């Protein structure tokens, strides 16, 4: 007698392995997205704080770290919104993640250049707030559009 396996077993095994591979790739993509968000947020906050006049800021006093976070909050907000939304919507497809990261890095570099005056536009505090709001919207909707697999 021959040992014959059912014909549907290899397909189910391949589907199960594909699901595992997709889950692992999605997990890697999530970590990559968070790493890029954290790096971009760090450098953007450094650029933002360098444009502010902090001569009277008592950096040695108690609570200075929390105060620094509150001062840097407008620059951090687009990255926090984008990180949370893209973490939830991340996909296993590499091309979609690469396109999102391209848009994200291009936006971060553009905002950094605008903050430092590379475009010749005067940036006051209200203008920067509008730039940060626009940046958050672009990141949110690019994640929504590029990660929509269904």
Q: What is the DSSP string of 24-78?
A: HHHHHHHHHHHHHHHHHHHHHHHHHHHHS--TT--TTSTTHHHHHHHHHHHHHHH
pLDDT at 66 over 70: yes
Task: List, for residues 5-16, the tens digit of each pLDDT value.
Answer: 555 555 566 677
Residue 105's pLDDT is: 96
Instruction: State the Cα angle at 64 between 61 and 69, rounded to 5°.
Output: 175
Residues 6+ apart with CB under 8 A from 5: none
Please check the confidence at residue 100 and state whether its pLDDT lies above 80: yes
Residue 92 is given by DSSP the state: S
Angle at 114 between CA 104 and CA 67, to 5 degrees: 85
Give pLDDT tens digits for 120-133: 877 787 888 898 99
| 0.85 surpassed by pTM | no
């Amino acid at each position: 007698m021959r040992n014959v396996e059912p014909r549907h077993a290899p397909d189910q095994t391949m589907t199960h392995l594909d699901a595992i591979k997709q889950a692992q790739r999605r997990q890697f993509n999530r970590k990559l997205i968070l790493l890029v968000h954290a790096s971009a947020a760090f450098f953007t906050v450094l650029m933002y704080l360098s444009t502010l006049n902090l001569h009277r800021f008592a950096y040695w006093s108690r609570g200075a770290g929390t105060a620094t976070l509150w001062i840097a909050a407008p620059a951090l907000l687009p990255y926090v919104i984008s990180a949370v939304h893209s973490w939830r919507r991340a996909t296993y497809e590499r091309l979609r993640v690469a396109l999102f990261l391209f848009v994200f890095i291009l936006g971060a570099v553009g905002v950094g250049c605008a903050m430092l005056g590379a475009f010749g536009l005067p940036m006051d505090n209200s203008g920067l707030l509008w730039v940060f709001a626009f940046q958050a919207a672009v990141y949110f909707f690019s994640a929504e559009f590029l990660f929509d697999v269904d």
